Structure formats: structure tokens, C-alpha cells
Structure 1
Amino acid sequence: MKKLILVALLISGLSNAKGQEVEGEMNVWFFMLNHYSVNEKWRVGNEIHVRRYDWVKDQEQFLIRPFVDYILNKDVTFTAGYTYIKTSSFGPLPSGITVPENNIWEQVTLNHMVGKLLISHRLRQEHRWIGEIEGDPSTGLDIDGTHFTNRFRYRLTLRHDLGEKWFAHVFDEFWFHQDGMKPERFDRNWFYAGLGYKVGSGNVQLGYMGQRISVGDQFLEMPTLQLMFQYDF
């Protein structure tokens, strides 16, 4: 675990490399997460994301993500899933056209406690089929086929109960484009801090996330408010 944290700190330094900074407007993301336990080892779930740009003025992304968990024990969970993403043309570096993506992914989540602090390490491998943009912006763009790429993600999460109902939730996540299966270049970094309130077998969370996204030789800074509702059946 210590080695993973040291790697994350090194990556954080790389993600802060110098480049032209581009400031985006405030994002507002709505996120619903559900789980259904089949038995003590198997669980299915789904995520739905509605992401808006410039507060809620413009459509940014729609995302749906069904998945299956295998719970090895209380500290180790293996997951496989599918994601559909529709990314609109938005922000200071627009694509000019709505771009679809389909990906399949595998991940492992490792948990351990330090006193009352829950520490989680999530490692996810994504295999992505992204819509290929063709044409000229002056005459019109279209999606013609897809291109394939891999991406790796590592998230370090800290969660601490503040009482019977309230809890604090912080995470830092690093994303990397890959050449085959080898890390090729930094993609983005997310840093999130929020508060949650437990409701039955679920919770509601509200937090702020800073996004730093690599786009060519530029870095796009995207402040984000996220409202999440989780419920386990």
C-alpha cells in the first residue's frame, strides 16, 4: 500500500508539469449509484451520470455504467463492467460534434482501516472504442467509425465517519493514456472532497472536485460540483 501511495505522489508531480492553462466554467454533475446483492459474494450495480457545463446551462456528458462485483473478502473486490458515454461539444476546447464512446473495463478495489479511517485503492483498466471525428469544421463534422485505445486509472480514497449519519469523503484519481498496455502519457487528475449523509442503506453526498485535463500541450482546469445519491438494495 505504501508503494502505491508513493507512486501516486510521483504522478501528482508529473500532472502539475508546465503547460498552457485554460480555465473552464463550473461543471455541475448529478450521479446515481445502485447495488443489488445476489449473495454474499456476488453483487450487480449501475451508475448513471448527468453532467452539465457552465453550471447547468449546457449539456456536457451522459454516462451509464452497469457492472458486476465479486467480493473476495471485506478488503478485496473484483469488478467488471461496461460504459456508454455521450460527450457533447462544450467548453473552451469544443470538439464541434457529439462523440459516443463504448468501453469495457476491469478493476480491483483494496480496502484497509487505520483506526476509523477507511482507505481504498482502486485500479481500473479501460478498453475504449471512441467515435472517430471526420470532416472539416468549416464544412461540417461527422462520426465515421471508431478508434480503439486503452486507459489506466488509479484512485486513492479516504472516508471517515463524523458521527452516526455524517461522513467525510476525499479522493484523488490519476488517469493515463496507454500505448497497448504501457502508460504513454498523463490524461487527467481528479481531486474531490465532500460530505455525505447516510439515508437507510444508502447515502447522499455533495462535494467539490478539481479537474486537470491534458489536451495536447494545454491543461484544462475544470471546477466541478457533484451531487451523488447511492442506494443499495
Structure 2
Amino acid sequence: MKYYFTLIVFCTAIVLGHSQVNPEKQLGSWYMLYGTFRVSDKISINTGIELRYYEIITNYNLDLFGTGMSYHINPKTALTVNYSYLDIDRSIEFTEISNTIEHRLYEQINNKHNLWNLPINHRLRIEHRFLHTINDNTIQNRLRYRLGTKIKLNKTLYIAVSNEIFVNFTEDVFRENRTYAALGIRLHKTLKLQLGYMKQHINNLNLDRLQIGIYLNTDLRKTQ
């Protein structure tokens, strides 16, 4: 699988790669690897890695490493706690602070249901962000709500669509919004690949982002 992922990144870079300075005038990229490991009827472990760039594979933006645990109340609802470490480079955004280290904690609830025949997913998350720069250490809290759906096209392909709004507990309340659409490919019963596009409004910037994500979901429970 890693060879397919490398090939996709390489080919995309050849076709779309270019050099620009203004982040609003370039197509950036997010490369993501997420795993969910079900260890009991009620508990699963979550892990994730993200690499983000202002261009396809150049002008590094940030990397993210996270892990957490989910408690499944029932097949449709789960509670999650998570810790993530982020190394953020924002020098291209013309800010005074070029590098930030973030330790992020969040609590989250996921709920799934059907609206007529359309599957609906709600995700509500509260984040606590511990930000460390060369000049200052701050704590920020925010609320995130994502509404999404996945539509099966056949046994292999599906379409994923979502919108997520961010609400900060500061004077700059509505700082970010993400609108996302992707084509999903089921490579195996435990493995999915998503090729998507995201329109991201953040810090008064309107950014276009290509997303390539690999999602691994395994069940480690012993067969009874």
C-alpha cells in the first residue's frame, strides 16, 4: 500500500507542482494516515499522522501526530478523548511568529443516523490548545462542529462530503471553516483511500487544499 501512496504523491507533484509565495494563489496539500483499532465491544484506539504543505510537496506548513481512545455507547454514538502534537510553520502567511509548537487535547462526540436514505454524521469537538512560541505561551479553546455524509456508489467507491465550522472562545469567534468533498476507494475491508478537495477559510485566508488520506480500521477482538 505504501508504494501506491508514494506513486500518487509523486504523480500529483509532477502534474500540479509549482512555486508561489502567496498561500491563496497555490494548491496546497494534506497527506493523512489514520488508524482505528477496535479492542473491545466498547473501546477503540485511534491514531493519526498528518503532513500539510502550502504547495503539493513543498513549503511545509505543519505535521501532526495524535492518539486517543473512543468509548462506543452504542453502534451509532461514540465518545473520544485525544492528544495531538503539532509543529507549525506559518512564516509564509506573513505573520510575526514563524514557528509554533502545539499540544492539543480534545473531547468529542460522534453520532450517526439516517435522514430518509441518506447517512448523516455529526461530530462535535471541544479542543484545548497549548501553544508555545519563541515569545509566548498561550492556551486557546474552541468548539468544532462537522456535518457530513458518505454516499455509496458501488461496493468499491463512495463519495464523502462535509462542512466544519470552528468557534473560538475569544474575540475572534469565527476564524475558520472547512468545506470538503472526496472520492473514496475501498481497497480492502479494513483499508480505504480518499482523494479529496477542501476549501479552507482560516485567518482571513481562502485556501485550496488537495487531501490524500489512508484510513485503516481493524478489529482486534477475538472471535467468540
> Is the shorter-chain TM-score for this pair beyond 0.5, marking a shared fold?
yes
Q: Residue 149 of structure 1 is aligned with which of 140, 146, 156?
A: 140
Aligned residue for 2:94? Answer: 93
1:185 and 1:110 mapped to 2: Cα distance? Answer: 25
Aligned residue for 2:31? Answer: 30
* Superposed displacement of residue 149, structure 1: 1.4
Q: How does 1:98-177 map to 2 (within 5 A)?
A: 98-132=99-133, 143-177=134-168
1:91 and 1:25 mapped to 2: Cα distance? Answer: 12
C-alpha contact (below 8 Å) 1:76/1:109 kept by paired residues:
yes
Q: Percent identity, please.
A: 27
Aligned residues: 195
Q: Does 1:199 align with 2:199?
A: no
Aligned residue for 1:229? Answer: 214
Cα distance, 1:90–1:54 mapped onto 2, change above 3 Å: farther
C-alpha contact (below 8 Å) 1:26/1:54 kept by paired residues:
yes
State the TM-score, normalized to the length of structure 2.
0.82
Aligned residue for 2:6? Answer: none
1:95-119 Cα offsets, whole Å, 9 max, x none, are 4421100011100011102354220
Where structure 1 has 5 or more consecutive residues not aligned to the other structure, the ranges are 1-21, 133-142
C-alpha contact (below 8 Å) 2:160/2:181 kept by paired residues:
yes
1:161 and 1:77 mapped to 2: Cα distance? Answer: 22
1:72 and 1:197 mapped to 2: Cα distance? Answer: 28
Where structure 2 has 5 or more consecutive residues not aligned to the other structure, the ranges are 1-22, 219-224
1:147 maps to a residue whose letter is: T
Q: Does 1:52 align with 2:15?
A: no
1:55 and 1:167 mapped to 2: Cα distance? Answer: 24
SS of structure 1 residue aligned to 2:98 = coil
SS of structure 2 residue aligned to 1:91 = helix
C-alpha contact (below 8 Å) 1:25/1:223 kept by paired residues:
yes
* Superposed displacement of residue 92, structure 1: 3.8
SS of structure 2 residue aligned to 1:163 = coil
* Superposed displacement of residue 90, structure 1: 3.9
2:36 and 2:96 mapped to 1: Cα distance? Answer: 34
2:95 and 2:214 mapped to 1: Cα distance? Answer: 29
1:57 maps to a residue whose letter is: T
* Superposed displacement of residue 52, structure 1: 1.0
Cα distance, 1:208–1:95 mapped onto 2, change above 3 Å: farther
State the TM-score, normalized to the length of structure 1.
0.79
1:207 maps to a residue whose letter is: G
